Amino acid sequence: MHYFFITGSSKGLGKALTELLLSDKNNFVYGISRTNTIYHQQFQHLKLDLADLDAVKQFQFSELKDATAITLINNAGIVGDIKHLGNLDAKKIISTYNINLVAPTLLINQFFNTYNNKIQKLVVNISSGAGRSPIDGWSVYCASKAGLDMLSLVFKTELEHNNINTNIISLAPGIIDTSMQDEIRKADKTNFSNIERFIEYKNNGDLSNPKETAKQVYAFIFNQKLHHKTICSVRDLA
């Protein structure tokens, strides 16, 4: 059995990817989120608030005796407060970093502590183009995704020193028609100069459907040739 742990399985990209994985009876998916929307015999929901670091620290990965491969997908993420620095809410700064960067770091650490065996393992961090070029109003989101990219690069160098059969990628999924984009379009123009561009993406039909993006992420998971480049994008498939 190929086991998957996917954060943010309840909606958007994470839900579409979970549903795609469940179409193969050789896959079993543990979905990690605050709410559950998926009911399937090869699926188990694990309720966890990734902003609650004490709960994340206590999260335990299951013992998987019949595993042939284990994949962790850090997909959950929030855009956070869309405001310029100076106007940000302190609590939202902290919760955005916790969900987007601190929780994935804790989960990766726990994942490799638990599965310190020779089974084939992959970590897919869902990053963003926003972690690779700055967008005003998105400082914490951009910084957290840049942090996820660097975390992935460092881990890759560590794996090269002491582990085989394991890989990590940090994958930018493109712009997807999910509730995150709804939230972005509701931002205040004075705190986000690019808002018109994001409204146009929606109006022009430029946003990708989550099911289409899930197919692209799926291609990255199952094609090992795509794992050699740690910092990657679904655009690399073109």
Amino acid, res. 12: G
Shortest gap between Cβ of 16 and ligand NAP (angstroms)? 8
The two tokens of residue 33 are 């989120």
176 Cβ contact list (under 8 Å, min separation 6): 12, 13, 207, 208, 209, 210, 213
DSSP 98: I
Nearer residue to ligand NAP within complex by CB, 211 or 227: 211
Neighbour order of strands in the sheet with 231-233: 43-47, 27-33, 2-7, 69-74, 120-126, 166-172, 231-233
Nearer residue to ligand NAP within complex by CB, 49 or 120: 49
Q: Torsion angle of alpha carbons 26, 31, 36, 40, nearest 10°?
A: 10
Nearer residue to ligand NAP within complex by CB, 33 or 230: 33
Nearer residue to ligand NAP within complex by CB, 27 or 75: 75
Q: Which residue of this chain has its Cβ atom nearest to ligand NAP in the complex?
A: 12
Shortest gap between Cβ of 156 and ligand NAP (angstroms)? 19
Shortest gap between Cβ of 209 and ligand NAP (angstroms)? 11
In the annotation, is 201 catalytic?
A: no
Shortest gap between Cβ of 146 and ligand NAP (angstroms)? 12
| Among 97, 141, 201, 218, the one annotated catalytic | 141
The residue ranges that bind ligand NAP (CB under 6 A) are 7-14, 33-35, 48-51, 75-78, 99, 126, 128, 173, 175-176, 178-181
Q: Torsion angle of alpha carbons 97, 148, 1, 210, nearest 10°?
A: 80
- As annotated, the active-site residues are 141
